Structure 1
Amino acid sequence: MSEWLDRVYCEDALQGMARIEDASVDLIIADPPYGLGKDYGNDSDKLDTQAYLAWMEQWVDIALPKLKANGSLYIFLTWRYSPEVFVMLKQRMMMVNEIIWDRRVPSMGGSTRRYSSVHDTVGFFAKSKDYYFDLDAVRIPYDEQTKKARTRSIFVGAKWLEMGYNPKDVWSVSRLHREHRERADHPTQKPLEIIERMIKASCPSGGMVLDPFMGSGTTAVAARRCGRHFTGFELNPTYCEMIQRRLAELPAEPTAPEAVS
């Protein structure tokens, strides 16, 4: 597996993943095209419903054998296709959570025939019941006021009070608006906060993260910041260059990731 360490391959994921050794990856973070007709510099997001769902099943069946026995998958979806994809994945894995990413989109009009869509759906799946999960690595610290309010004897020494609470399944993290310091020229770039939480919780230190659709390279950047290895694929040569630039800008040592609420 050493030849795959910390590499970005500018090629189709279906072809590339077939070469990866089975049972060699700790975590898969997948942010595939959403089936909404987005422009990624190619026609990868312009399939009709039947073709899109067939393609999703195709890459999933190539990717899942690459996971170790205690490995996990996070997959970003929209409400349009998450029901079908979740059913397909539940036939192959154990579903752990449905996570809602609240993108903190301000109210600015929108459709007059339906409610505004301001979230992404994330599926968290595991290959087996003994999947790797480090809750302590992603606990959210209580503020001092809350700690002070809970000084009764039943709380003294409680691990959850000292280390923080379990993140909920609704993650409120602002989307990367045009002026955001992380923003790269990519239409569906994900915040580092979100990807770093996934990596810290579901990939051991020094482990391997696979991203089949690297896009702007956030998974690679997050893995490097968190002291994990990565490998992945991206069709668009412009995005491949972007990923390399983002990686080159990182400090030599991993940095402490920010907390998410």
Structure 2
Amino acid sequence: MDSVLLGDCRAVFAGVPAESVDFCLTDPPYLVNYRDRSGRTLAGDRVGHWLTPAFAEVHRLLKRDTLCVSFYGWTKVDEFVSAWRSAGFRLVGHLTFPKRYTSSSGLVRYQHENAYVLAKGSPRPPEHLIGDVIDWAYSHNEFHPTQKPLAVLTPLIESFCPFGGVVLDPFAGSASTLVAACLCGRHGIGCELEEHMHATAVARLARVRRLLLCSLGFEGDVAAALRLAA
């Protein structure tokens, strides 16, 4: 555990035992052929043939009566919902993350992100309920072109994954989900398709783990890790 595997999650996760993770939190490509201002792109961001088999693996790996939170591209919501349902998930919640800035603009200014809460089986309500509107914090996208902020990921992990549990991310990117899991006292396992991003994810996760271990017993250890990893 606490590792990022290199390769296509559809193949890589085939060797991971079924029903071995407690929660999935992931940010798959939105199928929009995204390119940021510096020209960075995302693998698998053109067509969604991988959606259903990837989430079928997620469903297989999750324990019974657990949850998955997945971000998605709203212009391709029909493809995402179809894939999730085909994989065996039920849609049980929807999260909105309002931003204080405009990501892009067209007929309107786009100022929020979305994620669905997906259920395998019948999970019990968490002990600490969170709202379905969570403020966004800009990550500056230092490590990844669509990097999600740790401040958004940590409350999801704390609510939906038991302390000491295992968080799964099949589209790990720069390992933001796994870093957040580490800071929350959970374990994590992820997969990243692009070799250069995998190297970034491994280094970033290792740096945060070293910081937490070295500062164990001192005040401000998590705060320091957050500053370095955000």
Q: Same fold (TM over 0.5)?
A: yes
- Aligned-pair CA distance for 1:10: 1.3
Alpha-carbon separation, structure 2, partners of 1:58 and 1:233: 14
The range that moved more, 81-90 or 211-220, is 81-90
Q: Which of 107, 116, 139 does residue 123 from structure 1 map onto?
A: 116
Tell me which residue corresponds to 1:146.
Answer: none
Contact 1:211 1:219 survives alignment (8 Å):
yes
Which 4+ runs in 1 deviate beyond 3 A? 39-43
Alpha-carbon separation, structure 1, partners of 2:19 and 2:116: 21
Tell me which residue corresponds to 2:45.
Answer: 45
Q: Which of 179, 189, 197 does residue 231 from structure 1 map onto?
A: 189
- Amino acid of the structure 2 residue aligned with 1:242: T
Tell me which residue corresponds to 1:105.
Answer: 101
TM-score by length of 2: 0.82
Q: C-alpha offsets along residues 184-203 of structure 1, whole Å, 9 cap, x if unaligned? A: 23110000011111111111
Aligned length: 211
- Amino acid of the structure 1 residue aligned with 2:162: P
Matched position secondary structure for 1:186: coil
Q: C-alpha offsets along residues 220-249 of structure 1, whole Å, 9 cap, x if unaligned? A: 111111111111111112212212222233
Alpha-carbon separation, structure 2, partners of 1:41 and 1:219: 20
Alpha-carbon separation, structure 2, partners of 1:239 and 1:176: 17
TM-score by length of 1: 0.73
| Aligned positions of 1:1-261 closer than 5 A | 5-38=1-34, 43-47=43-47, 52=48, 54-90=49-85, 92-106=88-102, 110-111=105-106, 114-131=107-124, 133-135=126-128, 166-177=129-140, 183-250=141-208, 251-252=212-213, 253=216, 255=222
Contact 1:132 1:203 survives alignment (8 Å):
no
Matched position secondary structure for 1:81: helix
Contact 1:86 1:123 survives alignment (8 Å):
no
Contact 1:24 1:66 survives alignment (8 Å):
yes
- Aligned-pair CA distance for 1:71: 1.5
- Aligned-pair CA distance for 1:86: 2.5
Unaligned runs of 5+ in 2: none
- Aligned-pair CA distance for 1:132: 6.1
Alpha-carbon separation, structure 2, partners of 1:43 and 1:218: 17
Contact 1:110 1:116 survives alignment (8 Å):
yes
Q: Which structure: larger Rg?
A: 1
Query: What percentage of aligned pairs have identical amino acids?
Result: 29
- Aligned-pair CA distance for 1:88: 4.1
- Aligned-pair CA distance for 1:103: 2.5
Aligned CA-pair RMSD? 2.4
Q: C-alpha offsets along residues 102-132 of structure 1, whole Å, 9 cap, x if unaligned? A: 132149x833xx1122222100111122346
Q: C-alpha offsets along residues 131-187 of structure 1, whole Å, 9 cap, x if unaligned? A: 46231xxxxxxxxxxxxxxxxxxxxxxxxxxxxxx532121212323xxxxx42311
- Aligned-pair CA distance for 1:42: 6.1
- Amino acid of the structure 1 residue aligned with 2:138: R
Matched position secondary structure for 2:51: helix
Unaligned runs of 5+ in 1: 136-165, 178-182
Alpha-carbon separation, structure 1, partners of 2:124 and 2:54: 22
